[in-house]
Amino acid sequence: MQILSEVDKIKTVENGSILTPKGFQTAAVAAGIRYTKLDLGVIFSEKLANSAAVYTTNLFQAAPIKVTQESIASEGALQAVVVNSGCANACTGTQGYEDALKMRALTAEKLGIKDTYVAVASTGVIGEYLNMEKVAAGLELLSLGNANEDAVAFQTAILTTDLMMKTCCYSAEIDGKTVTIGGTSKGSGMIHPNMATMLAFLTTDANISSEHLAAALKQVTNQSFNQITVDGDTSTNDMVLVMANGMAENEPLTPDHPEWLTFMGLLGKSCESLAKQIAKDGEGATKLVEVEVKGAVNDSEARWVAKQIVGSNLVKTAIYGADANWGRIIGAIGQSNASLNPETVDIAIGPIKMLEKSEPQKFSEEEALAYLKEDFIQIFVDLHYGDGQGKAWGCDLSYDYIKINASYRS
């Protein structure tokens, strides 16, 4: 089921943010974890919010991930999330876990809430300990607000090698009430499918249980965050977290609610927007690449083929060089092990047909070169094997990616 089928009911909230849904505040400070930049932030809900998260699939899950899992498992609800950049607090053993617990406790004390109502997230260099003195001092300086500059400050504090903030905000009418979702994320490198590559935070005033929210988030993640890749590496820290405080006062949302698909579309559009912004901001990237596959045996295989194409280093380098080498695309399709007929595949790069029923098509190299020099590239594939369809997003692979990652710690 394509959950974005309800997009006609969804409105973009201009200049909206994680603070647009009712009842949320943020704060951020430069605690000195990463020089003089903003590096410590909090999202706070005035009311206890039913919450859900999906986590990295990397086996070396960082301490903040474990602490957040424990918080959500306690009651399925949160009132705050605290985030630092500059230090991942990953692969730091017992001390790292104790530091994450202390970070949670200090935040709870500052906000006057239970420890287990706080989620913890960290991003940055792996294998280094958090400077807890700086964390503690920074938390004391936090001053919550709900102005646009407060949202911008938080969105800035979570960035590492990112070149831009990622944010979105959408609303829809449910039960005659305006339900809003705001989101922000960070991610530029170590981006690869299976929800292992970024931090993303979504706030909503929707009335929904943590159980149904978790199921919804898992489904939309498979069609959004799990469909992006920059470099094929998965991180130790990252997650997508949603807080729903119910302040829109709609009837409780369940799969039986008549407007359940509207909510799913709202959540799906939010996650897709953030996922595409991450792919566009890939380290060293010059182009956003979207691959659309149809005609697969099912949606799952269509998404897998799309990921294989957008994740291929040969495809990515060809796009960087504006080389219309469709052979690299067909090679990626063949490596996917998807169900297909090798005699019925169509490939187009933008409006230019390259392959039809697996037969090469004549095309203008000049026209292809001009298209591939644009900053948004689309690749279309039709396997003619079923009704499955799916998309994936990524970026080109440039010389700058190597420069950035060769000197990441310095």
**Which residues are designated catalytic?**
197
Letter string b/e over residues 70-104, b meaning 16 or more CB atoms within 10 A of that residue's CB = bbbeeebbbbbbbbbbbbbbbebeeebbebbbbbb
Q: Are 250 and 89 in contact (CB under 8 A)?
A: no
Quote the DSSP letter at residue 92.
-
Structure tokens at 191: 């981006």
**Which residue has tokens 């083929």?**
305
Beta bridge partners of 82: 42, 120
Biggest CA–CA distance in the chain, Å, is 68
Structure tokens at 206: 């929707």
Distances (CA, A) of 205 to 45, 68, 241: 10, 21, 14
Q: Where does 308-375 show beta strands of DSSP type E? A: 346-349, 352-356, 359-360
Quote the DSSP letter at residue 59.
S
Nearest to 390 by CA among 303, 332, 329: 303
CA distance 75 to 55: 18
Structure tokens at 273: 């927007």
CA distance 127 to 193: 23
Nearest to 242 by CA among 3, 2, 41, 45: 45
Nearest to 22 by CA among 233, 171, 201, 132: 171
Q: How far apart are the first and last CA of the chain?
A: 45
Nearest to 389 by CA among 268, 296, 289: 296
CA distance 336 to 236: 25
